[in-house]
Structure 1
Amino acid sequence: MTLEKQLIQKTYHEMFINEHEDSHPIRLLGEAFQEEAQKDVPDLSHIRFAQGEVYFHYKDFEAAIFKWENIINELEPWAKKNTADAYYELGLLSTAEDIYTTIVTDNPTLTTEVALQLFSLYIERGKVDAAVKVMKKTIDANPDYPNVTEIARTFFEEQQDWDNAIELAVNEAKRTESPAWFDMIIAYVEKGVTKSFAPSYFTQALVLLFGLDKGKFEELISVLWKSYQNEESYLTWLNEVNHLLLNLDINREENWPGLSGLHKETYFSFIDGRYFIKKIQEYIPDLLTNWLRLADQANVVLSSAAVLSWNELFPASISMSIVSEAEKLISMTDSDIDELDECLTLFDSIMNWAQAHEMGENNRLKWLVDQLIDFDNQHIFITGLSGSGKSSFVNAILGENLQDSPTSSVVMFKDADELAITEITDWEITNLSGFSDFQERMDRRRNALESIIEFKRPNAFLKGNRVAFIDTPGIKGSHHDRNEILKSLHVADNVLFVLDANAPFTEKERSILTKIQELAPEIPIHFVLSKMDTIADEQEAIRIFDETRSTIQTYLPESQVFAFSSQYEGSQLNDLQEFIRSINNSINIEDKRLAKLLYFIRVTIASLLQKRVDVENQLIESVRWNEEMLMKLTGAVNQLKDTESQKTKAFTKSYRAFKDAIEIDIAETVPNLLKECSALIKEDSNFSKIHMELNDEMNRRLQDFLEEQVMPKYYRLLQDWIQRCKEEFEEGQEFLNEMSESFNQMYGDERLKLECDFKVLDDWRRDTDRMTSRFQLDSINILLRRTPSQFLLKSAGKLFGALSQNKAMLYNKYKSFVENEDYSETAKLVCQQFFRPFELFEKSLERDVTMFFKSPLTMLNRSVEEASAGIQTNQEMLNNMNANPEMFRDPLTLFEVRLRQFEWMTVAGKGMQTIY
């Protein structure tokens, strides 16, 4: 055992003990100490050091410390370390720490041992940062010391200090080139704790690993790639890894399936419509270059096609040597990819993108694509001019009169186990309940060509010949209708053009055939010569058939012609069956359908680009329309407010007019009514009470006057006024009806219903009936008021009432007073009492008129808000579209890249021609 190992394990004392002696080590060392002490120049430090070890092992830590404190030779640094160990065991951690930190030595082993003890002490004292610091310093100074890196790794993991754990693993992997440390890095990456590190942090380790173990290199680069995929640093990683791979000597013969798959996945994620081109344009050339360099056998053709398609749309972005290599590889390598599945994936991506960007459901297009992948049936597209006998021909094949009128929609007839009729439009799919719904659809004329109807039911002819018929409306002169009908042409494997035997192969029919050939030159065209039974002479019928067939074959040498007569449809089915089988060609049907699918994808991309233009134009038109509507609606709101104000003023004025007239009537009548009460005064009246009797009578007469004369008159005036208000309100409602009708015509919908609240009139009638049903005048002090003249007169009455000689004088005085008194104040009080119940009614007139017009005004204001919001929303969308034209253009451009890629792999690679 080496001296350093003895010092570490505290077994230095074994040097002084003979293993064969039975005496206790303390006794032996004591004897050795005494023997050394007898020498002239004793050296007791070695023995003291050994004694300290024995005391330490027997847990006599104080004795050990005493011995080690007296060491003055080369063992002094170890003695200090052991002293600190003893204090550590005693639990005096602070003292131990102080001693550990004062030890100065050049011995790397002692330095490391002290550091490891400090590390443990710091952990025990909860000083994690200090523990990390001392451990990292120890690794930097002496990384090869036994277990030090393993201790550090375990500690970092326990503390979940992943940054330091990863740093340790990367540094040790580069230092030791040990596979175990590279495995540790891979484990950390898979654990997801490396994402905070910049991608470049791992580059040197990857370069080193490439030379050591290419399999593990692929594994590490793969897990790093996946870990960065959903992080902000993903593009930085791609840039780093692309440059790394470009500078390494990589070739596909070494087989890199993992990296090849990651390049494929990344490339397709870039071109699936999620990214703008300007964001990925700098990364894709290097990505494709590397993919081509390391593509495994399953991806050589795909990577080559990706290079070529990208280079087509972005010339000179990839080096010519890579492009040339891609051209060479794609021409020499067989592809075993599932081409149909890849194309359908592309189509689904486009559809999902279109739906996410509110570009429509595109149900009809999806349905057409579904028919292309139905390889169990060949599709025969049946068309012809209106009146050519096409419906009779279809009915004969289907075995019943399914169509009793000309077809208005495109209908696909298919064999199925049970009846199912479905109507497909771009925006919805509708299941029809049966024949009646189907016939109703067939009788339509408006928007009929916007849908396709799928008619499935058991049919022996269709099943036996494995065909589906696509029946179309008869073609007329309209170019629009013709183009709509021929939209479904590319789903067909054959075209069956129905001719009228009475006028076959006319110039108009040749024009339509030319259009069909322009649209789909690869689809064979054959003919049915219908209505042969209308030609009476058999020889004439044969001549017409021969001449027609000859003329057709001059234009279309490969075309066949079948003569059909509705009178012999039963006996003709066998011949027709042979004819159908002769024109059906199932050779390479998958390749042909694949080419059609690519056509539909290209048409879809073009139509979506056009939709973007259409959307922009619609937004511009919507903004303009909403601005116009806003101006008109604002004007309507102002008009309605003016109407409301005018009505309020008119109603209030007319109400006050007849109220004022009543007030004048009361003011004029009340004084006369009260003065007439003088006739009640007699010479023999009791003048001590006459004033009270007169006051009561005056109040009674006022009550009768108001209740019997004024109130009925006021009631009639109120009813007349309410009737006039009703007429005014009806006039206002009529005005609003005209306004709403005008706006609804502009909206194209019954959106505005400006109905006023006529309940206001009912409320008025109810209130006026209640307030005029009865009137009770509160007693008014007419003669009992304490005016000076009344007071004197009343006093005189009390003084002289008993004196008969004074009665004539009092009689004259009272009579004169009642006849000449000013009753204007009383008349005013009477008016106040009479109109008091109507004060609230009068004050609420303005509010009631407002309530009458509230609903229309609210609706108009809401429409104003909607128009304003529409302007703002559409203008923002328009601004965004103009500010970010790439939002629509870039995804569709990338879809086109994918389309060209599949064309390189399929149509071009097999020597076929595209169909556009």
Structure 2
Amino acid sequence: MTEKHFINKAFYETFMVDQEGKHPVAVLGEAYFHETELDSENLSHIRYAQGEVYYHFKDYEAAIYKWEKVKGTFVAWAQKNMADAYFQLGNTTKAEELYKSVQTDSDSLTSEIALQLFSLYLEQERKEHAFRVIKEAVVQNPDYPNVTSLARTFYEEEQDWSSAIELAVNEIIRTKSTAWMQVLIGYIQKGFTKDTEPDYFSEVLRAVYEADIPRFREMVSAHWNSYRQSSYDLKWLQAINNLFDGIGYAETAWEEISDLYRSTYKRLISGSYFITEFEHLVPNLLANWLKIANQTDALFAAAAVLAWEGLFPSTIERNTLQHAEHVLYDYKEQNPGLEEGLHLLDTVLAWAEQNEFPLDVRVRWMMEKLLHADNSHVLVTGINGSGKSYFINSILGEQVLGANSPGTIIIEDAPQVSVQIVSQEGQSEMSVEEFYEITAHGNEQDVAFTFQLPSPFLQKYELSFIDTPEFANQPIENNRLFRYLHYGDSLLFVLNAHEPFTAREQEIVLTLQEQAPNLPIHFVLNKLDGMRREDIVRLLEDVQMRVQPYFPNARVFAAHANEIGTYMQALARSVRPAERRTSQVLSAVRNVLIDVMEQRIAAENSLMESIHWNEDMLVKLNGFINNLTALEAEKYKVIASSYRDIKENIAVDMRRDIPVLLQGATSLIHDEQDFRNIHVTLNEQMNDMIQDYVTEKILPKLTVALRNWLDEVKEELSQSQTYLYETSEAFNTLYEEEKMQLTGDFKILEDWRRDTERMLRRIRIADINILLRFTPGQFLLKSAGKLLGGFSQNKQLLENQYRKYIENEDYTEVTQEVIRMCFEQFTLFERALEEDVSMFFAEPFRILKETVEETHMEIQQQRDKHSAMKANPEVFQDPLKLFHLRLRQQEVIRNMRYVAQMPEVEPIG
């Protein structure tokens, strides 16, 4: 009897030995009857077996009845079986209770109960209980049949990838099972592991490495590709580096891993990360990569090691450096790196453009023109008077160049004549006539040209000329040749045969060689017309001897097309085109990086200069605003004071004239008047006298005075406008643009002229109570008139009294009232003068204040930009540093595969 009988409820089969043809029920019944006859108390084993038979025949109640009576060693299994029966009857509560009540030391029974509970919980959709019980089952007895497979199926159905991954990892470590390795690889490939810490897989990876290296490579590759898309990308690199540090490199093919190392390293140095994020990973990454690098990657890996050590000294271990050097030394394949170089160049150019460090259009044009061409490019230059243009024309057999070379010209063979002009703004087609016009008159602009024409010479020798400006008396480094120096395959320096290789020419060529040490330089003796052949030969030998100490590989030619063409063609063919272009591409990359760095420095300096300039402008603007405020106050003071003087002068006249005028009213009194109402009559007549005085005397004088005042005001405002114009021009000169046009509002002058005319027309003096006021004197006088005015003998007395009163009356109040009424509108006008003068200056003030605000804003923006540059220098410096790193890698490869000194070519003829 085995546990298998209990598991399968097949214990009853032990009773069926030698009982062929009999039914289990009959056999067990006989056994039960036999035991009772023997008066045996141990019937538990028969009852247990009877319960199994009833269970198989789905008589679950009978089975339960039998198993309830089981005692002894069968109890635990009987309880489990009763739970199975209740489960089948649908009484899951009772079934669960019984399963949990079983107490046993049997691993098999424990596992069986766990599996049954698992099924029960699934049926009840109690997923958490199912998860707990299956996990316990796996931990307690993972070798039990179907436990791990059921767990895996459950986890996958529930998409509990964390548990599924844990299960697969543990099973691989425990069993080294290939099937479980494939399961985990599948999880990795589907991306289920990318959010798990990479260190979690270190142990399982070691286990897989020890058991199955092909699947180890497959699993590592799957992890690598998965983590690339997650935040654990760099942690994975740390983990895999640590892993490879701790394992021995078995003799196996690591091509896929080597490819992953290469792509990862290229991604790290592409600019996706800051250097500080990954620099600690690179030394081990490169060391491990170099150990497993396939033949294709070996050169790149070794170059990467040396380049990294060059940029980050003392970070690579010595044995790794030695390994890299041996790889480079022993590398036999040709790999000039042109494709990598062009890719790097495109990357640098795109980055520079994106970060607003535009490359000179002419340099980009030269790159596109020359780096992808098959012809050999010959730079041609010389000093003033060397006859360079004449030499090129004679070689081509065409009058292409005039005496005044217009900048840099690429001359190349083509089916038909065409000319392109390239400037900082861009490139465009131009006619040959326009080109000749520029050539004839010289050209001060910094432009370049492509001149294409059918040329048997250029076609035959597969050459193109790059004609550059001659060296004049300016500093050598200012010559435009240096911009294109690294794009030439060789250089011809034209010498005047009548004064060849002067100290100045020697200095120039040595400078050129220092800037481009790998560029072959040769010399051409020009202006040989009229010289005898033997003299030319002697001169060639003499110049060759003078050149030799400085340029041992240089040739000195007579200006003969075939000899020069043949030699240049042989020289070009002595170096593989790809290697030659690789060197030029790498030089182009270096020049672009230098240009970007210079632009960055210039940008920072320009920002600071702009900040200082704007701050200085702010001081000037605020100073001018203060001056203008003072000018406004001064002009108001002058204008208002002049206006008040007019009023005061006329008021003085009125204070003098009106009392005299009113005192003269005595002439209006005569004895024929009705003295009972004389005060009324005289009051009217005196008001008429005042009105006539104002109309005839004051109004004309005031009109003239105000018109003169307006002329004076116009002059004052014109002076202010002149000051505004001058200041505008001064600021515009500083800004180098029409930044502001400060114009006063002369409309106020028109308004004032209209207002004064209107006020003058409206001067009216209302009747004033001169003799009708209730004063003691007037009261007595008026009362006497009324009482005595009717008697003739009293008229003389009354006349004398009225005369005396009028002559001696104080007319100060009347005069002040007349002045008040006369100037009432003018006083209101005066009160508005200050606001009106402000209106004249309002627009200039607005413009100035807006300019101040703009300047403040610009200063702040510039400071923020400068602070950002200083606060996050790695945003700019890291890409540049990585570009330099990639450049160094390419240069390491080139220098190992390409001899810097061009091989000497045998003389022709």
Q: TM-score range by the shorter chain?
A: 0.7 to 0.9
Structure 2: tracts of 5 or more residues without a match:
549-553, 904-909
**In 1, Cα distance between the equivalents of 2:20 and 2:665?**
155
SS in structure 2 at match of 1:584:
helix
How high is the TM-score relative to the length of structure 2? 0.79
Cα 1:737/1:56, change in 2 over 3 Å: farther
Ranges in structure 1 where 5+ consecutive residues have no aligned partner: 564-574
Task: Choose 374-383 or 95-104, whichever is displaced more.
Answer: 95-104
1:173 corresponds to: 172
Change (3 A) 1:789 1:224: same
Distance change >3 Å, CA 384–CA 786, structure 1 → 2: same
**Offset, 1:406:** 0.6
Aligned counterpart, 1:145: 144
1:865 CA displacement = 1.1
Give the drift of 1:383: 1.7
Shift of 1:334: 1.8
| Counterpart among 580, 596, 614 of residue 592 in structure 1 | 580
| Residue of structure 1 in register with 2:203 after alignment | 204
> Root-mean-square deviation (CA), in Å?
5.3
Deviation of residue 617 (structure 1)?
Answer: 5.2
Following superposition, the deviation at residue 290 of structure 1 comes to 0.9
* Mapped pair 1:757 → 2:751: no
Q: What corresponds to 1:386 in structure 2?
A: 384
Q: 1:492 aligns with which of 478, 488, 494?
A: 488
Instruction: Map 1:243-642; keep pairs closer than 5 Å.
Output: 243-250=242-249, 253-272=251-270, 279-314=277-312, 316-337=314-335, 339-356=337-354, 358-396=356-394, 401-416=399-414, 421-424=419-422, 428-435=425-432, 438=435, 448=445, 450-480=446-476, 483-520=479-516, 523-532=519-528, 535=530, 540-542=531-533, 544-555=535-546, 559=555, 561-563=557-559, 576-577=561-562, 579-585=564-570, 586-590=573-577, 591-605=579-593, 618=606, 621-622=609-610, 624-642=612-630
Q: How does 1:685-764 map to 2 (within 5 A)?
A: 720-747=708-735, 749-750=736-737, 752-753=739-740, 755-758=741-744, 760-764=745-749
2:906 aligns with none
- Quote the offset at 1:204 in angstroms: 0.5
1:226, distance to aligned residue in structure 2 (A) = 2.9
SS in 2 for 1:475: coil
The one-letter code matched in structure 2 to 1:581 is T
Alpha-carbon distance in structure 2 between the residues aligned to 1:11 and 1:863: 97
Partners of 2:411 and 2:244 lie apart in 1 by 56
Contact 2:500 2:525 in 1 (8 A): yes
Q: Is the 8 A contact 2:44 2:74 kept in 1?
A: no
Deviations 1:540-580 (A, max 9, x none): 444553343232333457635344xxxxxxxxxxx735642
Which amino acid counterpart does residue 229 of structure 1 have in structure 2? R
2:907 maps to what in 1?
Answer: none
CA gap of 1:103–1:579, structure 2 versus 1, over 3 A, is same
Q: Deviations over 1:85-143 (max 9, x none)?
A: 67777887777666655554444444444444554565666655444333322221232
Distance in 1 (CA, whole Å) between partners of 2:276 and 2:660 is: 101
| C-alpha contact (below 8 Å) 1:637/1:860 kept by paired residues | no
Counterpart residue number, 1:194: 193
Tell me if the contact between 1:108 and 1:142 (Cα under 8 Å) persists in the aligned partners: yes
**For each residue in 1:30-86, what CA deviation from the matched residue of structure 2 results, as whole angstroms up to 9, or x when unmatched?**
99999999997695897699679968986x999988887777666665666666667
Q: Distance in 2 between matches of 1:695 and 1:191?
A: 118
What SS does the aligned partner of 1:907 have? helix
For the residues of structure 1 that align with 2:891 and 2:547, how far apart are their CA atoms?
29
Q: How does 1:867-878 map to 2 (within 5 A)?
A: 868-869=859-860, 872-873=863-864, 876=867
Residues 760-775 of structure 1 aligned to structure 2 (within 5 Å): 760-766=745-751, 768-769=753-754, 772-773=757-758
CA contact (8 A) 1:907 1:913 kept: no
Counterpart residue identity of residue 493, structure 1: D
Question: Displacement, 1:620?
Answer: 5.5
Q: Aligned partners of 2:718 and 2:668: how far apart in 1? A: 54
- Residues 636 and 860, structure 1, Cα contact 8 Å, conserved in 2: no
Q: Which of 633, 643, 654 does residue 631 from structure 2 map onto?
A: 643
- Partners of 2:801 and 2:746 in 1: CA distance: 54
Q: Equivalent residues in 2 for 1:205-244 (5 A)?
A: 205-229=204-228, 231-244=230-243
Distance in 2 of aligned mates of 1:88 and 1:131: 16
How has the CA–CA distance of structure 1 residues 42 and 532 changed in structure 2, closer, same or farther, with 3 Å as cutoff?
closer
- Once the two structures are overlaid, the 10-residue window that deviates more, 472-481 or 677-686, is 677-686
Deviating more after overlay: 45-54 vs 108-117: 45-54
Q: Which stretch shows the higher mean deviation, 107-116 or 808-817?
A: 808-817
Q: Map Cα deviations across residues 410-431 of structure 1 (whole Å, 9 max, x no partner).
A: 1112234566544446x65332
Q: Give the conservation status (yes or no) of the 8 Å contact 1:495–1:523.
A: yes
Cα pair distance change 1:896/1:856, threshold 3 Å: closer
- Structure 2 matches for 1:766-915, cutoff 5 A? 766=751, 768-769=753-754, 772-773=757-758, 822-823=813-814, 826-827=817-818, 830=821, 833-835=824-826, 838=829, 841-842=832-833, 844-845=835-836, 847-862=838-853, 864-865=855-856, 868-869=859-860, 872-873=863-864, 876=867, 879-880=870-871, 891-913=879-901
How far apart in 2 are the matches of 1:723 and 1:114?
118
1:317 partner SS: coil
Change (3 A) 1:868 1:314: closer
SS of structure 2 residue aligned to 1:844: helix
Deviation at 1:699, TM superposition (A): 9.2
> What SS does the corresponding residue of 2:405 show, helix, strand or coil?
coil
Partner secondary structure for residue 454 of structure 1: strand
- Distance of 1:73 and 1:716 partners within structure 2: 142
| Counterpart in the other structure of 1:571 | none
Change (3 A) 1:765 1:623: closer
Which deviates more from structure 2 when the two are superposed, residues 595-604 or residues 381-390? Answer: 595-604
How far apart are residue 260 of structure 1 and its match?
0.7
Q: CA deviation at 1:171?
A: 1.8
Distance 1:398 1:685 in 2: 131
Render the CA deviation track for 1:321-343: whole Å, top value 9, x for unaligned: 33333333322232354621122
Change (3 A) 1:813 1:117: farther
How far did residue 274 of structure 1 move?
A: 5.6
1:773 deviation in Å? 3.2
Once the two structures are superposed, residues 496-522 of structure 1 have per-residue CA deviations (whole angstroms, 9 ceiling, x without a partner) of 333445545545444444444454565
**Structure 2 CA distance for aligned equivalents of residues 673 and 2 of structure 1:** 154
Q: Contact between 1:504 and 1:529, CA under 8 Å: does it hold in 2?
A: yes
CA contact (8 A) 1:288 1:307 kept: yes
- Which amino acid counterpart does residue 908 of structure 1 have in structure 2? M
TM-score norm. by structure 1 comes to 0.79
Q: Is the 8 A contact 1:105 1:111 kept in 2?
A: yes
Q: Secondary structure at the match of 2:466?
A: strand
Instruction: Give yes or no for contact 1:502–1:531 (8 Å, CA) kept in 2.
Output: yes
Worse overlay, 183-192 or 226-235 = 226-235
Which SS does the other structure have where 2:192 is aligned?
A: coil
Deviates more, 1:724-733 or 1:669-678: 669-678
